Structure 1
């Protein structure tokens, strides 16, 4: 990698991380705004790249459905999980996507509907699930508390896996992991990512009581073993998320999903791991919460 490209990649990456972390930790207002921007840009990017295959996704209703899904999940979680009807609102938009295709006069109408809904399910729903990791409800607390620690930890674990899987693979990688989809991935890189991500989860466990809002209120959090398990789960599904996006790009014959982030590609390239890691982490944490 040339020095200029490395400098561009480093600077843009630092700005990207700073914006993301700041938007999460300042408060739920900036968190909401940040996520809506990310979902909107990522959905728009997804619809643009699938359009190259001859499909005509419904950009406007797809964006409304994606943003509406996140807002519905946000309101439901913010309100203390009191009224499930908020989660039903996006269904009306999903139905509208089918009906609108009657009037668009486009070829392959059901493929258009399928790709529009795929964008929502692939991108908007995983991001929407993050609301259940930031608005936490406990029997000894009145209502919910905005706790950024779990979502921030999720991003840190994904970044750790991505960084050390790459470095380990570059240093000692010999055995191909999934050559048909991603020729550069190796088993050594995958294992290195898991090991270092599990190690980062140990650091996050010890940091939690000193940083997280609930930690300051005396909430004990998860055990060390559960944190290590979370690191392993996130690492595995982050790699799978990367492979899924690589499969999408290969099927469309493109290298990057976009160029919005200099040196890093598009929004899908930056958040592909989160799209599978977030739902997997949520299911894992909910299961472990019930076991504690």
Structure 2
């Protein structure tokens, strides 16, 4: 329990430091978290289906993360892209991006000699929506509209809300809860 508390404290310090330090430190930390998450996702999917290709999950998750971060950056406006209209951004992320993402994955699945249908396509798109896009969308909380000044406080506030919600859910379950919700799924959880 002490080791878990110490590692959690180290993670909180690293995360808060990266959020408050600069845009680039936040980008580096979240890129690392996304890549580790995609490897873990591949490990989970390959226990169920050993033919799942690692490259399709990594390709789609990293591409989804990079696209979402790029759309949120102030430099893209100077490069000639006008994605600041949030309707265009929402349309791109929800309608166009899965189609763009699926084309190379479907071609690779068609050319795959082992067959297996479109498992890699579906796993890749799921990885993009489950890991890549959520971390990329956090960068949209940064307000770059007035200047290039980075302010990570909205992202920090988001994490504080999540941590406080989890903490008080645990405490209320521990001290006020009389019955465990799903004891057969998690026998030692409140």
TM-score normalised to structure 2 length: 0.79
**C-alpha distance 89-39 of structure 1, shift in aligned 2 (>3 A):** same
Alpha-carbon shift at residue 109 of structure 1 (Å): 2.5
Which deviations, in whole Å up to 9, do the C-alpha atoms of 1:67-87 show, x marking residues without a partner?
Answer: 222222222211267424996
- CA deviations 1:129-188 (Å, max 9, x no partner) are 111102442xxx2x45422111111111111111221122111212454667656666xx
- The 1-side partners of 2:115 and 2:185 are apart by 30
SS at match of 1:130: helix
CA shift for structure 1 position 10 = 1.1
Matched, 1:164 2:168: yes
Whether 1:132 aligns to 2:127 is no
Post-superposition shift, 1:90? 7.7
Alignment partners' CA distance in 2, 1:8 and 1:157: 24
Query: 2:61·2:133 contact (CA, 8 Å) conserved in 1?
Result: yes
* Contact kept? 1:66, 1:120, Cα under 8 Å: yes
**Highest relative contact order (Cα 8 Å, sep 6+), 1 or 2?**
2
Quick one: which of 121, 129, 135 aligns to 1:121?
129
Instruction: Give the whole-Å Cα distance in 1 for the aligned partners of 2:39 and 2:185.
Output: 24
Determine if the alignment matches structure 1 residue 57 to structure 2 residue 52: yes
Are 2:34 and 2:62, in contact at CA under 8 Å, matched by a contact in 1?
Answer: yes
**Unpaired stretches in structure 1, ≥5 consecutive residues:** 1-5, 187-292
Asked if residue 108 in structure 1 is aligned to residue 116 in structure 2, the reply is yes
Q: Of the candidates 44, 61, 66, which is equivalent to residue 66 of structure 1?
A: 61
Conserved in 2, the CA contact under 8 Å of 1:135 and 1:147?
A: yes
Which is richer in strand?
A: 1
What does residue range 131-210 of structure 1 map to in structure 2 within 5 Å?
131-137=139-145, 141=146, 143-177=147-181
**Cα separation, 2, equivalents of 1:132 and 1:144:** 14
Structure 2 CA distance for partners of 1:117 and 1:180, relative to 1, 3 Å: farther
Which whole-Å CA distance do the structure 2 matches of 1:165 and 1:98 have between them? 42
Deviations 1:14-62 (A, max 9, x none): 1111111111111011111111100010011011111101253331232
Alignment length (residue pairs): 177
User: What RMSD in Å do the two structures reach over aligned CA positions?
Assistant: 2.7
Distance 2:98 2:121 in 1: 15
In 2, are the aligned partners of 1:70 and 1:124 still within 8 Å (CA)?
yes
Give the alignment of 1:1-292 within 5 angstroms.
6-79=1-74, 82=77, 83=81, 84=83, 92-137=100-145, 141=146, 143-177=147-181
Q: Structure 2: any 5+ residue segments left out of the alignment?
A: none
Q: Is the 8 A contact 1:78 1:135 kept in 2?
A: no
TM-score, normalising length: structure 1: 0.53
Specify whether residues 123 and 20 from structure 1 end up closer, same or farther in structure 2 by C-alpha distance, changes over 3 A only: same
In structure 2, the residue matched to 1:258 is: none
